[in-house]
Amino acid sequence: MLLFNIALKQRVSLTFIALSLFMLTGCIEPMYGPNVNGVSTATELQAIEVDEINDRTGHYVRNELIYALNGTGSTPTPRYRLKVTLSERVQTPIYNAQTAFSSSATVVVIAQYTLISLPDKVEISKGSTESIASYDRFTARFANVRASRDAAIRDAKVIAENIRTRIAMDLAARR
């Protein structure tokens, strides 16, 4: 009798799981796939114009965004405008008191972005993202400058990918 109850419970739970999954099949759609009108999120992403961003790291973020949003090289008519503001700081978490030198540093970049539709100036997406990249510090000044720049470039790639993914989710939700 006990064995029969266990088998029955297993069948009921498997049936419940199967029915739940079946009910969810209509709720999921590919983020980059076309909608019922034939417009895909990738096409919408290509129509985003990225405003200029100040500073060197802003230049890297803008270039990464342009490539991430429209890596095809096509120039469709812009339907959206993306405004990004950055704040950047360098932290030295480990400090050697004997040498008065920190052996590593961390570049923290915080981006705040707003996506606006061009014809009617409606805000489509807004948010912020953060990236942290560490680097080793050396006694040579040029090596420190280059290592800091490389960390900022790594931050720029992460920020651009985060912004692209969040915008794609918001555009896909609007369809």
pLDDT band for 43, please (50, 70, 90 cuts): confident
Q: Are 122 and 116 in contact (CB under 8 A)?
A: yes
Q: What is the CATH number of the domain that holds 124?
A: 3.30.160.150
Among 6-20, 127-141, 160-174, the minimum mean pLDDT is found in 6-20
The answer as to whether 170 is a domain residue is yes
The answer as to whether 147 is a domain residue is yes
115 SS3 class? strand
The answer as to whether 87 is a domain residue is yes
Residue 30 pLDDT exceeds 70: no
State the DSSP code for 52. Answer: P
The answer as to whether 10 is a domain residue is no
Residue 98 pLDDT exceeds 80: no
Number of structural domains the chain divides into: 1
The answer as to whether 119 is a domain residue is yes
The answer as to whether 50 is a domain residue is yes
The answer as to whether 19 is a domain residue is no
Sign of CA dihedral 25, 29, 33, 34: positive
Residue 92 pLDDT exceeds 80: yes
The answer as to whether 74 is a domain residue is yes
59-64 contacts, C-beta under 8 A, 24 or more apart: 60/152, 60/153, 60/156, 60/157, 61/86, 61/109, 61/111, 61/156, 61/159, 61/160, 63/156, 64/156, 64/157, 64/159, 64/160, 64/161
Containing structural domain, residue 158 = 40-174
pLDDT of residue 29: 66
